[in-house]
Amino acid sequence: MLVLHSYRRCPFAIRVRMTLHEKGIDFHNIEESLKDKSPELIAKHPEAKVPLLIHDDRIIYESDIITQYIEDLFPTPTLLPATPYERAQTRLWTHWCNQQFKPHVDHYKYGAHRSSSKDVQQAPARLRADLTKLEIALADQPFLFGPQLTLADIHIFPFLRQLVKATPYFAPLDDFQACQKWLESIISRPSFKKTMQKQ
Ligand SMILES: N[C@@H](CCC(=O)N[C@@H](CS)C(=O)NCC(=O)O)C(=O)O
């Protein structure tokens, strides 16, 4: 039995629900209130964060570790490319997203409330560089590793979605058509509709 402590709009929790739905795996979703977390989340996650996966009595946290665990448990259909080198590349994309793209989106989205004035000032140029990296990777293929969706796509798209929805609109996005098409193709998948379904 898989139990997921989740929060509907959390991009990290979206990674995990999307992975489960892509694989057609049944799970029990517990929608947390981040202002009033369940005692179980507080007891079982060292930082009391979502997502948290409980598999029988096993506890797994950190979204990209959870998705890898799900892939290891349920390898079919796979969400990893075939070769060890490409699998390493998917992890590098995830690392890049966690270390660079996600913080840059935060610096733009939350501004001076949460980030230093230097980070806020540099965010637009850094985001352009990030989007250029994605745009090049997506220039002649629908997903980061060719025709199939992989964990690299699943780990990154929730943050591009956040950027697209940020106010004020990040106008340079209009120059990145391959990124926009990629995002559209992911959010139009049935798995994403299920991922965002209200309970
Ligand atoms: N690195 C973690 C980040 C998880 C995270 O930051 N979750 C946020 C919601 S999007 C959270 O639970 N915040 C509540 C808190 O920090 O108290 C992961 O990948 O799972």
DSSP states of 77-108? S--S-SSHHHHHHHHHHHHHIIIIIHHHHHHH
**192 located within any domain:** no
Average pLDDT of the residues of the chain: 97
Cβ–Cβ under 8 Å, residues 147 and 81: no
**88 and 53 assigned to the same domain:** no
CATH number of the structural domain spanning residue 12: 3.40.30.10
**197 located within any domain:** no
Reported as a single tens digit per residue, the pLDDT across 4-61 is 999 999 999 999 999 999 999 999 999 999 999 999 999 999 999 999 999 999 999 9
User: How would you classify the pairing of strands 2-6 and 28-31?
Assistant: parallel
**8 and 88 assigned to the same domain:** no
Give percent of the chain above pLDDT 90.
98
**31 located within any domain:** yes
**119 and 58 assigned to the same domain:** no
Domain boundary among 52, 78, 104: 78
The per-residue pLDDT for 92 is: 98
Is 62's pLDDT higher than 90?
A: yes
Residue 141 CA to ligand 1 centre (angstroms):
31
Estimate the crossing angle of helix 63-73 against helix 11-23, to 10 degrees.
Answer: 10
Reported as a single tens digit per residue, the pLDDT across 13-23 is 999 999 999 99
Q: For residue 10, which atom of ligand 1 is closest to its CA?
A: 10
Residue 175 CA to ligand 1 centre (angstroms):
31
**45 and 130 assigned to the same domain:** no
Reported as a single tens digit per residue, the pLDDT across 117-130 is 999 999 999 999 99
**149 and 128 assigned to the same domain:** yes
**97 and 174 assigned to the same domain:** yes
Cβ–Cβ under 8 Å, residues 142 and 149: no
Residue 36 CA to ligand 1 centre (angstroms):
14
Pocket test for ligand 1, best of 6, 8, 49 (most atoms within 8 A of CB): 49
**Encoded amino acid at 152, one letter:** A
Residue 12 CA to ligand 1 centre (angstroms):
7
The per-residue pLDDT for 20 is: 98
Domain boundary among 14, 47, 78: 78
Query: How many Cα neighbours within 13 Å face the side chain of 111?
Result: 4
Total structural domains within the chain: 2
Q: Domain range holding 8?
A: 2-78
Measured by CA distance, the residue closest to atom 13 of ligand 1 is 49
Domain boundary among 78, 99, 129: 78
Does ligand 1 come within 6 angstroms of the Cβ of 43? Answer: no
CATH number of the structural domain spanning residue 142: 1.20.1050.10
The per-residue pLDDT for 67 is: 98
**102 and 129 assigned to the same domain:** yes
Does ligand 1 come within 6 angstroms of the Cβ of 12? Answer: yes
Q: What is the mean pLDDT of residues 74-86?
A: 97
**194 located within any domain:** no
The per-residue pLDDT for 139 is: 97
Is 199's pLDDT higher than 90?
A: no
**pTM exceeds 0.75:** yes
**103 and 174 assigned to the same domain:** yes
SS3 letters across 129-174: HHHHHHHHHCCCCCECCECCCCHHHHHHHHHHHHHHHCCCCCHHHH
